[in-house]
Amino acid sequence: MKITDLKKHIRDIPNFPKEGIVFKDISTLLKHKDAFKKAIDALASNFKKEKVQYVVGIEARGFIFGAALAYKLGAGFVPVRKKGKLPYKTKSVTYQLEYGMDTLEIHEDALKPNARVLIVDDLLATGGTMTAVIDLIKAQKAKIVGVAFLIELQFLKGKEHLKDLPIYSIIQY
């Protein structure tokens, strides 16, 4: 399978979760064994020289790609979760959504200073979520060696908020 074939495995769901949004459904890619493997292999090969020590995955779809990628890279996995889900002491970041606010948390001892971290989510839209997570990681003084997505919605220009970081996505719209 080629990287360019992966687009065929992503399904557009118009007006989900609300009117006007075209939701990129990745469940169709995940259930296809060759497509899922190709996606993880492509992400891993892009970052294999970075000596990644921890992959940080963002709840919930970032967990799926992040955990497989951590295994493939021989790295640990660190979850960033929605408020109130992590059991130990946490650091949190609150950020603006299109409507209202949201809060994400990481365990306060998750990352040591200078730890080499790769952050993963399924999709880059406006970049608000990733910007918030980058703040959490920087507060722990870890070193962000990469930011990875399966999908980038280029027309939303999220990348402009993530300047000076090595961003990589497999599929662009």
Query: Which residues participate in catalysis according to the annotation?
Result: 61, 98
Which residues, numbered 10-49, are part of the site for ligand AMP (CB under 6 A)?
21-24
Contact residue for ligand AMP among 29, 39, 106, 124 (CB under 6 A)? 124
Dist. CA 63–CA 79, nearest whole Å: 7
Q: Count the site residues for ligand AMP by CB under 6 A.
A: 16
Shortest CB 41 distance to ligand AMP, Å:
21
Q: Is 152 in the site for ligand AMP (CB under 6 A)?
A: no
Q: Is 57 in the site for ligand AMP (CB under 6 A)?
A: no
What is the residue-wise DSSP string for 43-106? HHHHHGGG---EEEEETTHHHHHHHHHHHHHT-EEEEEEETT--SS-EEEEEEE-SSSEEEEEE
Residues 62-82: b if buried by 16+ CB within 10 A, e if exposed: bbbbbbbbbebbebebbbbbe
Which residues, numbered 71-100, are part of the site for ligand AMP (CB under 6 A)?
none
Nearer to ligand AMP, 53 or 119 (CB): 119
Contact residue for ligand AMP among 44, 64, 70, 122 (CB under 6 A)? 122
What is the residue-wise DSSP string for 121-148? EEEESSSHHHHHHHHHHHHTT-EEEEEE
Contact residue for ligand AMP among 66, 79, 127, 146 (CB under 6 A)? 127
Q: Is 129 in the site for ligand AMP (CB under 6 A)?
A: yes
Contact set with ligand AMP (CB under 6 A): 21-24, 58, 61, 121-129, 158
